[in-house]
Chains A and B, each alone.
Chain A
Amino acid sequence: DAGVIQSPRHEVTEMGQEVTLRCKPISGHDYLFWYRQTMMRGLELLIYFNNNVPIDDSGMPEDRFSAKMPNASFSTLKIQPSEPRDSAVYFCASSFSGTGHNQPQHFGDGTRLSIL
């Protein structure tokens, strides 16, 4: 089975540009999560969706960040305008609620974002 697919794997862009990160979750999973990972702050949950509906975006650092999930097989995380401090690895993960909270998350390989 295909895992969580993220694109692009690497993105280098200049400050002020719009950045769009993409994620395809595992088919059948009803939860989707966006994380950011940095050396300083570790792994941070930015936002998560349940059945394509955003449930909690309290981790989104600023209004420059937005996320959408137009259907069960696709989600985007957008940064506009981008700043150097947004440089990090961004992960998408999905999970299935199944029989309870014993279901693990499945992570993509991440997008390494560098803002110059």
Chain B
Amino acid sequence: GNSVTQMEGPVTLSEEAFLTINCTYTATGYPSLFWYVQYPGEGLQLLLKATKADDKGSNKGFEATYRKETTSFHLEKGSVQVSDSAVYFCALSSGGSYIPTFGRGTSLIVHP
């Protein structure tokens, strides 16, 4: 079956630091990969996605590259802000299913 593994949180950084949140997956076929972000008191919202190998998704300064050889989709940002403090979820959909598989989420705390 499909599965997504994310690094445990919380990740605590100072403002302007470099961010990496690791995500690896197991899936049948050729999945689409997603990162969602959940701000306090809100629902999850799509941050970025990639639908085939070597694609790079990007949004709001965040990037993630679909690496089929390492089955990874790590999230990166060069310089985080306090406003990036949130929970980040890695997810995938595959095999003709419209039902995504989510990781457990990684909490990011950015200090001024």
Binding site for B on A (CB under 8 A): 4, 31, 33, 42-43, 45, 48, 50, 56, 91, 93, 95, 97, 100-110
* Complex contacts, A45 vs chain B, CB 8 Å: 99
Contact with A along B59-103 (1 / 0, CB 8 A): 000000000000000000000000000000100011111111010
| Chain B residue, CB-CB nearest to A105 | B100
The answer to whether B98 touches A42, judged by C-beta atoms less than 8 angstroms apart, is: no
A interface secondary structure, majority = strand
The answer to whether B43 touches A4, judged by C-beta atoms less than 8 angstroms apart, is: yes
The answer to whether A43 touches B89, judged by C-beta atoms less than 8 angstroms apart, is: yes
Binding site for A on B (CB under 8 A): 31-32, 34, 36, 41-46, 49, 51, 89, 93-100, 102, 104-105
* Complex contacts, B97 vs chain A, CB 8 Å: 101
A–B Cβ pairs within 8 angstroms, 19 of them: A4-B43, A42-B102, A43-B89, A43-B102, A50-B98, A91-B44, A93-B43, A93-B44, A97-B98, A101-B31, A101-B93, A101-B94, A101-B97, A101-B98, A104-B46, A105-B100, A106-B45, A108-B43, A109-B43
The answer to whether B43 touches A43, judged by C-beta atoms less than 8 angstroms apart, is: no
Q: Nearest Cβ in chain B — how far from A101, in angstroms? A: 4
The answer to whether A107 touches B99, judged by C-beta atoms less than 8 angstroms apart, is: no
